[in-house]
Amino acid sequence: MSNPFLKAVELIFSFDKQLFDIIFLSVKVSGFALIIASVFGIPIAVFTAFKKFPLKSLFINIMNTFMGAPPVAVGLIFYLLLSRSGMLGFLGILYTPYAMILAQTFLAFPIIASLCHSAIVGVDPLLKQASITLGASPFTTAATIINEARYGIMSALIAASGRLFAEVGAILIVGGNIAGLTRVMTTAIALETDKGDFELAVALGIILILISFTINFSLNIIQKKGKKELI
């Protein structure tokens, strides 16, 4: 079993085009999904944290429930929506990176919205009072509270990116794992392992583990920083 590993390392250091195309596509799909989910998720988290509206707790509960939505089920829903006879079939994006970004955005959105909401409402209420008593306007007070929740918000983004990079079910269904077009790290590993071609699978596995390690390491650093560096 040492041969596939050595060959995998060789593939990485030889900057194999196929390998790096797959990595690049993974980063692109998950990166765009993270950005889009953040653009919608963070403002919704802020809104739900500061405003009262009808069925607010139901909305928060739904967000929390969708945090653990099975990617395969999400993939199936988007497949049905994006297939030619589906409601979004007119877009014609099934089996393209756009469909993958859409499905992954749907997976990341509740994680970002829910964890950011928890981070904001978790800020010590004394800080809101302090801000008001120091003459801040309601807008500045809100900005101060969001700033105080910054480590929690960053943790939410990192947690979401961890889920996206490791995700295989949804992108496999809506992307179709087409070589050079929609094949990303996780789907490529699944396919290459099935084929018995372990070199590429192991090389991608190493990269994926490295990405996962980097994400978790960053999360750890941010959480430590959030604990006020008291030591």
- Our finding on whether 128 is near another protein (CB under 8 A) is yes
Task: Report if residue 126 touches another protein, rule: CB under 8 A.
Answer: yes
Between 65 and 140, name the residue whose CB sits nearer to another protein: 140
Site string for another protein, 95-124 (x = CB under 8 A): -----------------------------x
The maximal CA–CA distance of the chain, rounded, in angstroms, is 67
Residue from 62, 73, 130, 181 binding another protein (CB under 8 A): 130
Contact stretch for another protein (CB under 8 A) within 75-83, 111-119, 134-142, 166-174 = 134-142
Phi and psi at 73, nearest 5°, equal: -65, -40
91 binds another protein (CB under 8 A): no
CB-wise, 65 or 129, nearer to another protein?
A: 129
> Nearest CA to 3 among 209, 187, 197, 195?
197
What is the distance in angstroms between the CA of the first residue and the CA of the last residue of the chain? 45
Provide the angle, in degrees to the nearest 10, between the axes of the packed helices 56-67 and 17-50.
Answer: 160
The distance from CA 38 to its chain's CA centroid, rounded to whole angstroms, is: 9
Which residue, 183, 164, 175, is CA-closest to 78?
175
Q: Which x/- pattern over 170-189 shows residues binding another protein (rule: CB under 8 A)?
A: --------------------
Residues 200-229 that bind another protein (CB under 8 A): 226, 228-229
- CB proximity list for 177: less than 8 A, separation 6 or greater: 183, 187, 188, 190, 191
135 to 154, contacts with another protein by CB under 8 A?
135-137, 140, 144, 148
Least separation in angstroms between residue 226's CB and another protein is 8
Closest to another protein by CB, 148 vs 167, is 148
As given in the structure block, the two tokens for residue 228 are 């006020």
Token pair, residue 106, equals 């749907």
Which residues are near another protein by CB under 8 A?
Answer: 124-137, 140, 144, 148, 226, 228-230
